Amino acid sequence: MSDGAPAHPHTTPAPAPTHGAGGGRPRRWRRVRTGLKGWLYLLPALAVYGGFAIYPALSTFSFSFLDWDGVQPPTWAGVENYTRVVTDPLLAGAIGNGLVLIVFFSFVPIAVGLLMTGLLTARGGRGTTFYRTVYFLPQVLPLVAVGTTWRWLYSGDGAVNEFLGAVGLDGLTRSWLADYHFALIALGLIGTWCMSGLCMVLFMSGAQKIDPALHEAAALDGAGRMRRFRHVTLPGLRKEISIAGVITTIAALASFDLVYVTTNGGPAGQTNVPALLVYRLAFNEGDIGAASALAVVLTLLVVALVSVIRLLAREK
Amino acid sequence: MLTLTACAALSGGSAQDNTPDDVSTDISDTEATLTLAFADDPPTHELVEGFTAMYPNVNIELQQTQFTDYVKTISLSMTSDDAPDIAQYNPGAMRSLIPGGHILNLDPYAEAYAWDETFPEATLEPLQSNEEATEFATGSLYAAPGALSVLGVFHNTEVMEEAGVPEPPATLEDFEAALELAHQADIAPMSVGGLEVGGFQIWNALLNGLGDRDDYKDWVYGAEGATIETEAAAEATETFHRWVEAGYVPESANATSDNDARAEFVDGDSMFLVTGNWAAFELEAEMGDDVGFLLMPGTAVDQAPVASGGSVAYAVSSHTEHPDVAAAFLNYLSSVEAAEIQLATGFMPVDTQAPTESYGLLNEVNFGFSTVADNEGIVPFPDHAAPGMIDQLTPGIQGLISGSATPEEFLASLQAEWESHHE
């Protein structure tokens, strides 16, 4: 700014609006300005995303090469933390359990969701809203409440065992989450209960988008309900199935709260999952390096599995 | 996705000076406002109120954090420029903060106030460590206890009567006989919160009664060459294992939280509950005269009682501007005035000689505690032995309960964790 003379940026250049429309310079300027304005709109989201997702992710990656307790000066550890993730049976076992949970959090709910979609679309619109609400309810409840409730349902004198006793299966009753062999399965079934409704709601909305003419044409050609479901509904749901697969797989591998309140990894480590050990390593044991390495491996695993799902579901 | 956002920027720098030069025990003229970070309430709030009532010139601002979050946040806040002056002691966090020089060395104050005479020795031991915070009960003092706790056995007198147990067991043999009587009467002998700490606390109590006090302390405090694979620990573990096999410890314990176990005991569904004095308030309110307290008995009646205990303790930041005032607060914790507050909030008083007017269950707990304290029989909890020890103790006991691990494997896993920390 020059000395003395007051600047009047607002009053000086601006071309009169009457001749602005056709001129080259103002238009280009406007385009640049519109571009800048676009970025301005993006800025809040970018700042939040960068600050709370990108930056922590990069920090985690850099921590994973350190030997650090979070307080004292860190020392370089190289790939030592990664070696530990791969070789420590505890950590490797947790990743294995996470993969088992995919069956219960992803495969089974998608199958159940498809089944319910098939049933609900076949019987027409009556009562659909009711069923949709009921099945979707688990998604709305906080997982901590879900976990605590299921811990009671599964307990020695809980509802699950009472039901088994009532139908004459006394021999099967046990404290499910305390059982060395059944705990992981019991935990997985809670995931199935949570995720099935989500899958169903996704599939229902997808099924409603399918052109009814396709169903009519298939029916005229003599296709029964099963056939129409297989050859009309199912292909039409490709995108929804892929999305459901992605969401539920992430939920399985990154599950923490549900495990934390139901079994906390027990009995005797049978239900350890990676996120639980990340938490323990970082906050109980003060081993930020190993915790970060496990988190990075888990993230890579999620990205790899999600990529596979997307690839399989791609339109031919 | 999964990221550790709680980690601050990599702050470098070497440990800073944490020993005060000149100390004063007179704070009557000091106008000061301090901040105190803590998780446990009661007793913190009440103790601070008691102190500031005595010293109106001092103002203490409280910063409470939930226990589960406290461990995470205290390391960060104590290393920040705006560190609280006083912080509730947390073994996990202190293992990093002490070597980093963020915690005031209290030795000069301990000498000036003669804390070795006013605080029971056993309660100061876990708060003393070497500069690296790898070995405890040695080196310098870094905190002072504000309220004490003790582990023992609560029993339901009505259920005992029902099962034909004439009186509270005085030896381990009697105790086991009582378990068997309950089992035969189709009553659950014990409520066990194996999902959390309730399982290993039974093992802990057994070891208190069977083991050598000093061997155990050496191990928990990290003395060189210490081991948990001793004959006594093997006997304690085998006893627990025997109880599992006899059906005294139900397999469902592995999915029972400490709260659920306590609720079961309150409802009269079991005979014994092994836990600490912290449960006494609730148990007395719910059960009235039907509940009693005893220390886990040893093999002989006249054996000197040993019990695990801990404390809500407070450390001082080395960044504080008012170390004298902070130290005066710590000194207050061993006073008769504080003892009243400690008892009223359900804890054991630091001044074990303080006259008490409690009755009923609280009196029984207090009596049990003072017999242990007078015999210097207070020993630390086993999870203190290494930062990751609790993650070996809980799953390890679960392994014993579900029959997937042997007593030898359990002790070996504890020792392996100990060695990986003390290498």
CATH number at residue B239: 3.40.190.10
- Lowest mean pLDDT: which of A35-39, B103-107, B404-408? A35-39
In a domain, A11, yes or no: no
Is A2 within a domain?
Answer: no
Q: What pLDDT, on a 0 to 100 scale, did the predictor assign at position B22?
A: 84
Chain A positions touching B95 (Cβ under 8 A) are 69, 286
Is pLDDT at B60 greater than 90 in this prediction?
Answer: yes
The pLDDT of residue A70: 82
Structure tokens of A151? 């811990």
DSSP H helices in chain A:
17-20, 24-49, 55-63, 80-87, 89-102, 108-122, 128-140, 143-153, 159-166, 183-209, 212-220, 225-228, 234-236, 238-253, 257-262, 274-279, 288-312
Q: Do B395 and A266 touch (CB under 8 A)?
A: yes
Residues A43 and A161 placed together within one structural domain of the fold: no
> Does residue A55 belong to any structural domain of this protein?
yes
Closest in B8, B13, B405 to A73, CB measured: B13
How many domains are contained in chain B? 2
The verdict on B86 and B209 lying in the same domain is: no
Is B255 close to A63, i.e. CB distance below 8 A? no
Residue B10 in contact with partner chain A when CB distance is under 8 A: yes
Which pLDDT belongs to residue A24? Answer: 55
Position A2 scores a pLDDT of 38
Q: Chain A residues with CB inside 8 Å of B97's CB?
A: 71
Note whether A242 and A107 are same-domain residues: yes
Residue (of B193, B108, B170, B148) closest to B300 by Cα position? B170
What residue of B is the nearest CA neighbor of A73? Answer: B12
Tell me whether residue B179 is exposed, middle or buried, using C-beta atoms within 10 angstroms of its C-beta: 0 to 12, 13 to 18, 19 or more. Answer: buried
Asked if residue B375 is part of any domain, the answer here is: no
Q: With contacts defined as CB-CB under 8 Å, which chain A residues touch B12?
A: 73
Nearest to B394 among A57, A266, A282 (CB): A266
Are the beta carbons of A63 and B4 separated by less than 8 Å?
A: yes
Q: Is residue B17 domain-resident?
A: no
Cβ–Cβ gap A284/B10 under 8 Å? no
Dihedral in degrees, nearest 10, Cα atoms A34, A35, A36, A42: 110
Distances (CA, A) of B117 to A79, B110, B379: 51, 10, 19
Alpha helices in B55-197 (DSSP H): 67-79, 91-97, 107-113, 115-118, 121-124, 157-163, 172-184
The pair of structure tokens assigned to A158 is: 């809980």
CB < 8 Å to A266, chain B: 194-195, 254-255, 394-395, 398
Do B284 and B400 belong to one domain?
yes
At residue B33, the 3 state secondary structure works out as: strand
Same domain? For A46 and A91 the reply is: no
pLDDT, position A25: 64
Same domain, A103 and A207: yes
Contact A268 B402 (CB under 8 A): yes
Average of pLDDT values for B138-158? 95
Question: Same structural domain for residues A43 and A89?
Answer: no
Residues A194 and A161 occupy one common structural domain: yes
With an 8 Å Cβ cutoff, is B100 touching chain A?
Answer: yes
Determine, yes or no, domain membership for B168: yes
Q: Which of B7, B196, B391 lies nearest to residue A280, judging by beta carbons?
A: B391
In angstroms, the separation between the Cα of residue B402 and the nearest Cα of chain A is 6
Q: Are residues A96 and A28 in the same domain?
A: no
Q: How confident is residue B8, by pLDDT bands cut at 50, 70 and 90?
A: very low
With beta carbons under 8 A apart, name residues in chain A contacting B404. Answer: 180, 267-268
Instruction: Give the confidence band of B13 by pLDDT, cuts at 50, 70, 90.
Output: very low
Looking at chain A, which residue has its C-alpha nearest residue B391?
A: A280
Residues 59-98 of B with CB under 8 A from A: 71-72, 75-76, 79, 92-93, 95-97
CB contact under 8 A, B11 and A73: yes
From A69, A268, A282, residue closest to B398, measured CB to CB: A268
Q: Is residue B113 scored above 60 in pLDDT?
A: yes
Q: How far apart are CA B114 and CA B118, in angstroms?
A: 7
Residues with Cβ within 8 Å of B135's Cβ and at least 6 positions away in sequence, in order, are B129, B221, B222, B223, B224
ipTM, 2 dp? 0.82
Among the candidates A63, A95, A115, a domain finishes at: A63
Q: Is residue B372 part of a domain?
A: no
* Cα torsion through B348, B353, B354, B355, rounded to 10: 110
* pLDDT of B14 higher than 60: no
Nearest C-alpha of chain A: how many angstroms from B4?
A: 6
**For B196, nearest residue in chain A (alpha carbons):** A264
Do B71 and A283 make contact, defined as CB atoms within 8 angstroms? Answer: yes
CA distances from B315 to A201, B24, B176, B237, B270 (A): 54, 17, 41, 35, 40
Residue A43 lies in a domain: yes
No. of helices (H) and no. of strands (E), chain B: 18, 11
B167-183 pLDDT tens trace: 999 999 999 999 999 99
**Which helix (H) or strand (E) element contains residue B291?**
strand B291-294
For the domain that residue A307 is a member of, what is the CATH number? 1.10.3720.10
Residues A30 and A92 occupy one common structural domain: no
Q: Kindly state whether B12 is in contact with chain A, defined as any CB-CB distance less than 8 angstroms.
A: yes
Residues of chain B positioned with their CB less than 8 A from the CB of A265 = 395
B226 and B353 share one domain: no
Residues B227 and B273 in one domain: yes
CB B149 within 8 A of CB B311: yes
Query: What is the interface size between A and B, counted as CB pairs within 8 Å?
Result: 149
User: How many folded domains does chain A comprise?
Assistant: 2
Residue given tokens 């086993």 in the structure block: B382
Q: Which residues lie across from A242 on neighbouring strands?
A: none
Same domain for B274 and B395, yes or no, is yes
A246: CB partners within 8 A, 6+ apart: A306, A309, A310
Place of tokens 């799902």: A309
Note the pLDDT tens digit of each residue in A100-156: 999 999 999 999 999 998 888 876 667 788 888 888 888 889 988 999 999 999 988
- Alpha-carbon distance of A268 to A271, in angstroms, equals 8
pLDDT band per the 50, 70, 90 thresholds, residue B187: very high
Q: Which tokens sit at B244?
A: 């599992």
Q: Taking the mean position of all CA atoms in its chain, how far away is CA B139?
A: 21
Q: Residue A115 burial by CB count (10 A; 0-12/13-18/19+): exposed, middle or buried?
A: middle
Chain center to CA of B109: 24
For B269-312, what is each residue's pLDDT tens digit?
999 999 999 899 889 999 999 999 999 999 988 888 999 999 99
Q: Are A260 and B366 in contact (CB under 8 A)?
A: no
The contacts of residue A47 (CB under 8 Å, 6+ apart) are none
A48 and A143: one domain? no
Query: Residue B317 phi/psi, 5° resolution?
Result: -75, 140
> Are B228 and B295 part of one and the same domain?
yes
For residue B14, being part of any structural domain is answered with: no
DSSP 8-state assignment for residue B224: T
Residues A51 and A88 in one domain: no
* Residue B228 predicted with pLDDT over 50: yes
Whole domain around residue A213: which residue ranges?
81-312
Query: Is residue B320 situated within a structural domain?
Result: yes
Residue A190 shares a structural domain with residue A248: yes
**Are B348 and B233 within one domain?**
no
- B212 with B245, same domain: the answer is yes
Report residues of chain A scoring pLDDT below 70.
1-26, 123-125, 316
- Is-contact B203 B237, C-beta < 8 A? yes
Q: What is the pLDDT of residues B334-382, one digit of tens each?
A: 999 999 999 888 888 898 877 776 678 888 898 888 889 888 899 999 9
Q: Closest partner residue to B72 among A264, A283, A291, by Cβ?
A: A283
Same domain flag for A105 and A244: yes
Q: Which of B257, B220, B266 is nearest to B417 (CA)?
A: B220
Q: Is residue A183 part of a domain?
A: yes
d(CA B380, CA A103): 44
List, as ranges, residues 241-280 from B with C-beta within 8 Å of A: 250-257, 260
- Cβ distance of A56 and B5 shorter than 8 Å: yes
Q: Which residue has the tokens 């906080």?
A: A142
| C-alpha to C-alpha distance for B311 and B291, rounded to whole angstroms | 24
- Whether residues B116 and B209 fall in one domain: no
The answer to whether residue A184 sits within a structural domain is: yes
The verdict on B335 touching A (C-beta cutoff 8 Å) is no
- β-pair partners for B190: B272
Residues of A in contact with B422 (CB under 8 A): none
The two beta strands, B378-379 and B307-316, are parallel
B125 pLDDT more than 60: yes
Rounded distance between C-alpha atoms, residue A258 and residue A191, angstroms: 8
Nearest to B315 by CA among B26, B5, B14, B37: B37
Interchain CB distance below 8 Å, A52 and B5 = yes
Assigned domain for A50 exists: yes
Give the pLDDT of residue B90: 87
pLDDT for B262: 95
How far apart CA B280 and CA A194 sit, in angstroms, is: 38
* CB-based contact B394 A264, cutoff 8 Å: yes
- Same domain membership, residue B157 and residue B123: no
Is residue B88 domain-resident?
Answer: yes
> Is A203 in a helix, a strand, or coil?
helix
Q: What residues of chain B, 115 to 174, have a C-beta less than 8 Å from chain A?
A: none
Q: What percent of chain B has pLDDT over 90?
A: 70
Domain that holds residue B408: 150-308+380-421
Contact check, Cβ <8 Å, A262/B253:
no
Domain-embedded: residue A210: yes
Best of A48, A63, A71 to mutate (most B CBs within 10 Å, chain B): A71
Residue B385 and residue B381: Cα distance in Å, rounded?
Answer: 8
Instruction: Please tell me whether residues B159 and B103 are part of one structural domain.
Output: no
How far is B243 from B202, CA to CA, in rounded Å? 11
Q: What is the pLDDT of residue B229?
A: 96
Q: Pick from A202, A210, A243, A248: which is nearest to A229 by CA?
A: A210
Calculate the CA B316 to chain-centre distance.
Answer: 20
Let me know whether B282 and B223 are in one domain.
yes
Question: Is the dihedral angle over the CA atoms B4, B8, B13, B16 positive or is it negative?
Answer: negative
pLDDT at B1: 37
The enclosing H or E element of B59 equals: strand B58-64
DSSP code, position B80: S
A153 → chain B, closest CA residue:
B255
